[in-house]
């Protein structure tokens, strides 16, 4: 495959860092350190992007706040996957008009997937005049330059170039967590599932060079990170576009060989590209967690075809069987859409059958939401909202029963878990994760955060487990 995307040169990133320094010099003239508020919606990819925005902001001399009244710069990093997410952002963005009236020097920025949609950018241009900067994911690397322009000459900036996308190495990051870290291994998506906006806003698939990924993971492990999640819209197609092609399984092997006690997770995998080689690699790489998030979206072959998923239900089930044969205690999770245009209740029942057959540990369930510009948005969609909701509730009820039954089988077992934070529960104050990423609330002291401990599971419900530290 030919590369259609560009690599941003180190000189370009150095120029951005020079803008950061100039802004930092301005920051230092202020009586108090200026603050920024970065608000993130959407998936882990967006979380990872916000870590870069924070990295740039810190290099500009900014501290961080969660209070929009205190912030000199507000960045809203948005998600376009469903209408509900967009409505929330537009609501919050609208409310900022009052905040900005009280703080006229404030800079308000909208970025991420929603910003890349031209109808949204147009709406913001016309009706949200308090927004100073709108930029899409392809030009995130230029954030310091945009801020520099806004600080030195007033005006508004709209930067949403329609391009295949680029790769920029060397942007500083401020990570949100000290135990778990996100590492993007590739960007974009080539799959064009008929309901999905992601390929339109995130550009074409492009893979980072393996040595850049390995260096980043090595650094994270040396800093004490214990749980590394490799990110991409379809990690199984990693490496196809590299000059020296390499597949995702080979990358996993190399990361697994890094010295240290840590877990490797990844998401998301597209079933059409999940291969026996991947399953074998997962089985023999001891650091790769025994969990697979493998979205199937729908259980009916006609709907899968209309969705342009490029696999059938039988093919999906066969892959699950192959994986379970190699890793019997594999934790499986998936994404499902209910109410795709034209899906009948009978066709929806095929989705329930997949749940019964696979018995996922957890499921992420969505009601179909039409996205402007996608093929599915212009398909006839006769089913009423009430009927879709009724089907959705049947799906939730079935999954709740399965999750509860699966979680109950943990009771009495002693499992090595990673303590990754506080649970907010007085009796079980620690939050930990099983290797399969099930949440376990544990009693124990705070000092254990960031450590692997053995936990005996004493109780379970449909959402989580709880337990006591084992001797």
199 binds, among ligand SAH, ligand F3S, ligand SF4, none (CB under 5 to 8 A by kind): ligand SF4
Smallest gap from Cβ 372 to ligand SAH, in A, equals: 10
Contact with ligand F3S (CB under 6 A): which of 35, 43, 352, 408? 43
CA neighbor of 179 nearest in space, from 452, 454, 451, 450: 450
Q: What is the 3-state secondary structure (H, E, C) of 384-404?
A: CHHHHHHHHHHHHHHHHHHHH
DSSP state of 127: H
For residues 286-325, which are near ligand SAH according to CB under 6 A? Answer: 295, 297
Report the candidate in 170, 182, 224 with the shortest Cα–Cα distance to residue 55. 170
Phi, psi values for residue 2, rounded to 5°: -80, 145
Give me the residues paired with residue 432 across strands.
419, 440
Quick check: 12 binds ligand SAH (CB under 6 A)? no
Report the residue closest to ligand F3S, judged by CB. 42
| Interface with ligand SF4 (CB under 6 A) | 189, 191-193, 196, 198-199, 233-234, 270
Residue 62, exposed/middle/buried by CB under 10 A (0-12, 13-18, 19+)? buried
Q: Torsions phi, psi of 232, nearest 5?
A: -175, 155
Nearer to ligand SAH among residue 39 and residue 335 (C-beta)? 335
Instruction: Give 407: exposed, middle or buried? Use CB within 10 Å, 0-12, 13-18, 19+.
Output: buried
* Binding partner of 113, given ligand SAH, ligand SF4, ligand F3S, none, CB within 5-8 angstroms per partner class: ligand F3S
Window 67-106: contact mask with ligand SAH (x via CB under 6 A): --------------xx------------------------
Residue 268 touching ligand SAH (CB under 6 A): yes
Residue span 159-198 as binding mask against ligand F3S, x where in contact by CB under 6 A, dash where not: --------------------------------------xx
Distance CA 387, CA 344 (A): 10
> Strand, helix or coil at 205?
coil
Find the part of the chain contacting ligand SAH (CB under 6 A) among 102-110, 161-169, 177-185, 364-372. 364-372
| Between 267 and 440, CB nearer to ligand SAH | 267
Let me know: does 431 contact 421? Beta carbons within 8 Å. Answer: yes
Q: Which residue has the tokens 């778990």?
A: 180
Q: Rule CB under 6 A: which residues touch ligand SAH?
A: 81-82, 195-196, 198, 233-234, 268, 270, 295, 297, 335, 337, 366, 368-369, 371
Q: Rule CB under 6 A: which residues touch ligand F3S?
A: 42-43, 45-46, 79-81, 112-113, 197-198, 202
């Amino acid at each position: 495959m030919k590369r259609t995307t560009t690599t941003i040169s180190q000189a370009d990133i150095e120029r951005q860092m020079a803008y950061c320094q100039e802004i930092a010099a301005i920051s230092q003239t202020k009586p108090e350190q200026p603050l920024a508020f970065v608000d993130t919606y959407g998936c882990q990819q967006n979380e990872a992007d916000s870590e870069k925005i924070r990295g740039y902001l810190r290099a500009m001399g900014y501290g961080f706040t969660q209070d929009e009244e205190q912030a000199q710069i507000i960045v809203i990093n948005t998600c376009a996957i469903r209408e509900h997410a967009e409505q929330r952002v537009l609501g919050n963005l609208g409310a900022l008009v009052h905040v900005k009236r009280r703080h006229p020097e404030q800079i308000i920025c909208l970025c991420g997937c929603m910003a890349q949609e031209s109808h949204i950018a147009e709406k913001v241009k016309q009706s949200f005049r308090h927004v100073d900067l709108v930029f899409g994911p392809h030009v995130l690397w230029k954030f310091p330059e945009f801020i520099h322009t806004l600080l030195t000459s007033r005006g508004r900036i709209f930067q949403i170039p329609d391009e295949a996308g680029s790769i920029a190495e060397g942007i500083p990051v401020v990570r949100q967590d000290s135990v778990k870290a996100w590492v993007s291994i590739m960007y974009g998506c080539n799959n064009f599932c008929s309901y999905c906006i992601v390929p339109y806003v995130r550009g074409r698939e492009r893979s980072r060079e393996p040595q850049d990924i390995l260096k980043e993971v090595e650094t994270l492990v040396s800093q004490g990170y214990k749980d590394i999640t490799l990110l991409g819209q379809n990690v199984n197609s990693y490496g196809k576009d590299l000059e020296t092609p390499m597949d995702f399984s080979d990358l996993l092997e190399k990361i697994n060989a890094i010295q240290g006690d840590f877990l490797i997770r990844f998401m998301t995998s597209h079933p059409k590209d999940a291969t026996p080689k991947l399953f074998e690699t997962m089985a023999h790489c001891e650091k790769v967690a025994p969990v697979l998030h493998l979205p199937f979206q729908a259980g009916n072959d006609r709907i899968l075809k209309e969705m342009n998923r490029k696999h059938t239900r039988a093919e999906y089930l066969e892959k699950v069987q192959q994986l379970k044969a190699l890793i019997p205690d594999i934790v499986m999770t998936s994404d499902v859409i209910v109410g795709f245009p034209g899906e009948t209740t009978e066709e929806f029942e095929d989705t329930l059958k997949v749940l019964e057959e696979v018995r996922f540990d957890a499921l992420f369930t969505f009601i179909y939401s039409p996205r402007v510009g996608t093929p599915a948005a212009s398909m006839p969609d006769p089913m009423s909202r009430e009927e879709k909701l009724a089907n959705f509730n049947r799906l939730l009820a079935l999954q709740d029963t399965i999750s509860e039954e699966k979680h109950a089988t943990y009771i009495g077992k002693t499992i090595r878990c990673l303590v990754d934070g506080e649970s907010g529960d007085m009796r079980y104050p620690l939050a930990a994760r099983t290797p399969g990423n099930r949440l376990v609330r544990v009693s124990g002291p705070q000092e254990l955060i960031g450590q692997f401990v053995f936990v005996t599971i004493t109780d379970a419900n449909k959402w989580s487990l709880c337990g006591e530290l084992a001797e």
